[in-house]
Amino acid sequence: MCSRCPCFVILKIYSVSAVLRKKTLSLMAITKHSLSVPEPRPETLIYPPLLSIISYPSSLKSRRFFIHPFKKSFRLFLITGIFTIILAGSCASASRNIIIEDETINKDITTGDVSDIKDVITLDDDKTDDSNKTEEKDSIYPVPTAFVALTFDDGPSYQTHKLLDVLKEHNIRATFFVSGVNMVKTDDILVSANQRKIDEGHEFANHAFYHYSWGNGNFSYDSMKRDFQRCQDEIIRVTGKSTPFFRAPNLIRNHVMTRVLRDLEMFDIIGYSLDDWRPNVTTRTLIDIMTRKHIAVDGQIFILHDHGRNNVINAIPQIAHILRERGIDFMTLSELAKHRGIDLNSDFGKLYGYF
């Protein structure tokens, strides 16, 4: 025990007060008849200052004769006691804060709830970590034994090229759930983005023509079918082939939608939603969630957005590096379905959260 430790000081004060108490008791034994001092209780030898408080009221009657023998030690004890309580309290409070912060991270990580994580994790989204790029180039990855699919909703957008650049740089092929309303736009930037997707081996999938919450019960079978087919027609116009994959806008689905998808020979694809469009979902949040061992599993489908946000753009290189080191690589949805033995020629309308 260090001599500077408060506990050491307290013990020292305590032993001094005990000695004082013992000596005074001897004195009291000699003079007790003349002073009418009550006989001290045996416990007072163990806790003199404390028991003196307890025993004091009984001696009030003879107070004018009674000079409390432990007045000084009692004061000293009281001061050191208060000091110790304050010190212990502040230590406990500090350690509690650390535990709470830890729990916040753990809770957010285990539940996938990322709404409160921004105060804990502070990674600047605008900075790209070049150290990871170097690390990736220098690493030799094991032969992949598991595969996941990155899917991007809502495009094409004016930022799609930015996303395609990072996917190309890291040799990742993804699946784009396009909105028909964006597919019909004729801006060069959008048209060329679609062409790049084809040239660079990405896959197109159906995200409805209009981004309505089609599954909220307000839409008829016919209106849904017409809309989904319209998006399908745009995909065929651009790519020359249809897609078996559909994702409901806002992930809102119902039984009418299931019938429509069955009749249009498509599958209802959801997946692991990252809420990457939320302002508080950072690069670090995406990396943390998408690389967790129980989430980044064979057949997993990640839902991201083709909005060109820096959190997604900056997270992809690091996610690719971490997963590839673990023998996990990326596939398009069609490839992943094949890899997982999913039959895409029957059970139309079936819901898949992963393959």
Which parts of this chain interact with Zn ion (CB under 5 A)? 153-154, 249
Instruction: Rank residues 276 and 288 by Cβ distance to Zn ion and give the closer one.
Output: 276
Indicate the residue among 48 and 155 with the shorter CB distance to Zn ion.
155
CB of 248 to Zn ion, least distance (A): 9
Name beta bridge partners: 267. Answer: 245
Task: Compute the least distance from the CB of residue 251 to Zn ion, in Å.
Answer: 8
Whole-number minimum distance, CB 188 to Zn ion, in Å?
24
Cα(34)–Cα(28) distance, integer angstroms: 10
Q: Which has the closest alpha carbon to 290: 167, 105, 148, 155? A: 148
Q: Provide the token pair at 112.
A: 């996938």
- Tokens representing 181? 């309303």
- 221 sits in which H/E element: helix 221-239
Q: In the complex, what is the shortest distance from the CB of residue 186 to Zn ion, in angstroms, rounded to a whole number?
A: 22
Residue with smaller CB distance to Zn ion, 62 or 218 = 218
Residue 224 exposed, middle or buried by CB count within 10 Å (0-12, 13-18, 19+): buried
Contact, 201 vs 239, CB < 8 A? Answer: no
Q: Give the Cα separation of 184 and 161 in Å (integer).
A: 17
**Shorter beta-carbon distance to Zn ion: residue 51 or 231:** 231
Residue of this chain nearest to Zn ion (CB atom) = 153
Q: Which of 117, 178 has the CB closer to Zn ion?
A: 178
- Shorter beta-carbon distance to Zn ion: residue 154 or 234: 154
Rounded to the nearest whole angstrom, what is the least distance from the CB of residue 207 to Zn ion in the complex?
Answer: 6
Burial 18-53 (b: 16+ CB within 10 A, else e): bebbeebbeeeeeeeeeeebeebeeebeebbbebbe
Shortest Å, Cβ 217 to Zn ion: 19
